[in-house]
Structure 1
């Protein structure tokens, strides 16, 4: 493969957390591979700090919370708001000792997507976001939207009236919603509900006030499935084309190592690309390069994968090369789509 131009890169999906707050993460256990500080120093080492890496978009890390007590007295929001405090220190360049970042690193933090109590409805969102603004201070301008993971929730959650109400509120306020669903572990019903959720959130809403949906990780298909006639692949492909027809929807080219069988993770960049080719073709054909954005899902991508960030970057480079994408198309995938979807041009 010919050497590719060094287009500006925005990593549209990373997670960061300091060692002092590991126990606030709902999923991170002491025996787990990520039970250690994952800050900008570690991220910079993983990426090699290439000169064309413009920065990253931070995604909430699923901290412990309680919707009921949060709505009642705010106590259930304590740990997600602690994450806002942490991101404020990164975004404003005011680290505490031992947190793994420095004042100079603030330029890398292009946008922040915190957790939000989306199932609790508009009133709760108003109250919570006021507290986020208070805690974030000068970094609040980098809060471009919110995420509430639905991939591990029960059926019907994202179709509840208050959930839809919150999405509509976000649209009116100019915030995006990062959507995390999981076909591989959760089932195809998650894709079906996602389609209905977007339709209901947009129904009867003027275009400029529709909430923007940024879909994570290709909706996590099972990447051990190579047969394109397999029902799982067919269901995923159908959902991708249906989702792509929704206005104001974008897709992250990210999170794929987590859905691969162990043996594939250890293969070469070319072998990984070849295994993923049917999925990549569908994403390009459905969303197009102007609605696809590069993301690493660091540090989750590192589980069972050596040099994961660089390896995924190389897979995406091979995809761009073998798809014969134009310079304009490639710029959009590497950074332009993220700038557009998150509205961060004025912050760079």
Structure 2
């Protein structure tokens, strides 16, 4: 059953001026992602198979801009993330006004409450009212912290916990990105402990809204069969159980193309093959998370890199999610939540006051 409406909960954009290692430390000159990826390019990607797909809107997720760690002032340190916000203002006030429903920028959650509040004032000023009202939460990408002691010290610190509790009070969510395959399952374990610590004694319906990215990036390059793989899988599964105890924790069905083997655009994996590879992790996910806390996200344009390429990746992932919902027998209401309603709830989204014809790509 094809979706009648889609809210893509995870896209990235960067203008030509930011498509370089000076703006993004993780970019490598000549690599696929070291090139402009604009709202116009995203519109084209979602319209390759049909002229007007049921994509109502999308949520922008920050792109891990370079930080000036030598700077003492928080605004100097965050010069690139603030430029990112300025570019989003251009998108929202330009040809992305109808499509970009939500924005999740970077924030200095590690810097303490005073620096966080100062940053928020400057970010709001730069964003302008139209872009700022679309801010649904923040992300500080944890997956790049490869030292477990340093990771633990950060997420257990009063500065970090205080900033996340400030988000909770203000009604903002936290997008949580960790990397089980690339760094280790310990990141997922420390992350679930962090969420439990932040929520403390609040009720399970009242905690910080946490949106887990990409299933926490488990290793799906092979099925778990060796003792080491099975140990990591079972530890990941236990984390999913603990995450799911909070009714305000959501999971994105996203990012899987980065965790399975590279695909050849001339011979991409079939929908059935991808679902079969995902099955152990999907079984755990659906055992613990109610479907009203799972949402579709494309991870565009990152999905293009190890996926089947620019012309196929977005559509193939949409087909995979459609196949997952069919395989597990979810009803129409539950499916609509995954495609649309759960992201609207988590990010507190509302349709922008704009002409929906802006979604049309000639």
Say whether the 8 Å CA contact 1:177–1:212 is kept in structure 2: yes
Q: 1:73 to 1:40 in 2, by over 3 A?
A: closer
Distance 1:323 1:5 in 2: 15
Matches within 5 A, 1:139-288: 139-153=131-145, 154-155=147-148, 156=152, 157-205=154-202, 210-227=207-224, 230-262=230-262, 266-288=268-290
Distance 2:242 2:52 in 1: 36
Match of 1:44 in 2: 43
Say whether the 8 Å CA contact 1:211–1:248 is kept in structure 2: yes
Tell which deviates more after alignment, 156-165 or 220-229: 220-229
Say whether the 8 Å CA contact 1:11–1:295 is kept in structure 2: yes
Distance 2:3 2:305 in 1: 27
Distance 1:263 1:148 in 2: 29
Q: 1:73 to 1:227 in 2, by over 3 A?
A: closer
The number of residue pairs the alignment matches comes to 334
Distance 2:24 2:144 in 1: 15
Distance 1:122 1:209 in 2: 21
For residues 272-321 of structure 1, give each alpha carbon's deviation from its aligned partner in whole angstroms, at most 9, with x where no partner exists: 11111221222122112100000010000100322111011111011111
C-alpha displacement of 1:347: 4.7
Q: 1:240 to 1:310 in 2, by over 3 A?
A: same
Residue 55 of structure 1 aligns to a residue whose secondary structure is strand
C-alpha displacement of 1:207: 6.5
Residue 37 of structure 2 aligns to a residue whose secondary structure is coil
Distance 1:6 1:263 in 2: 25
For residues 124-174 of structure 1, give each alpha carbon's deviation from its aligned partner in whole angstroms, at most 9, with x where no partner exists: 110111111100112110011100000111321222221111101111111
Say whether the 8 Å CA contact 2:98–2:352 is kept in structure 1: no
Matched, 1:114 2:105: yes
Match of 2:349 in 1: 344
Matches within 5 A, 1:301-320: 301-306=303-308, 307-320=312-325
Q: 1:226 to 1:264 in 2, by over 3 A?
A: farther
Q: 1:346 to 1:304 in 2, by over 3 A?
A: closer
TM score, norm. by length of structure 1: 0.91
Greater helix fraction, Structure 1 or Structure 2: 1
Higher relative contact order by CA 8 Å / sep ≥ 6: 1 or 2?
2
Distance 2:181 2:32 in 1: 21
Match of 2:66 in 1: 64
Distance 1:172 1:6 in 2: 34
Distance 1:264 1:234 in 2: 31
Tell which deviates more after alignment, 106-115 or 261-270: 261-270
Distance 2:81 2:215 in 1: 25
Residue 74 of structure 1 aligns to a residue whose secondary structure is helix
For residues 210-247 of structure 1, give each alpha carbon's deviation from its aligned partner in whole angstroms, at most 9, with x where no partner exists: 32111100000000231377222212111111111123
For residues 188-222 of structure 1, give each alpha carbon's deviation from its aligned partner in whole angstroms, at most 9, with x where no partner exists: 11111111100111113467763211110000000
Q: 1:268 to 1:346 in 2, by over 3 A?
A: closer
Say whether the 8 Å CA contact 2:300–2:314 is kept in structure 1: yes
Unaligned segments of structure 2, at least 5 residues: 354-362
Q: 1:276 to 1:171 in 2, by over 3 A?
A: same
TM score, norm. by length of structure 2: 0.88
Residue 178 of structure 1 aligns to a residue whose secondary structure is strand
Say whether the 8 Å CA contact 2:2–2:322 is kept in structure 1: no
Distance 1:195 1:73 in 2: 28
Distance 1:220 1:264 in 2: 21
Say whether the 8 Å CA contact 2:207–2:246 is kept in structure 1: no
Residue 306 of structure 2 aligns to a residue whose secondary structure is coil
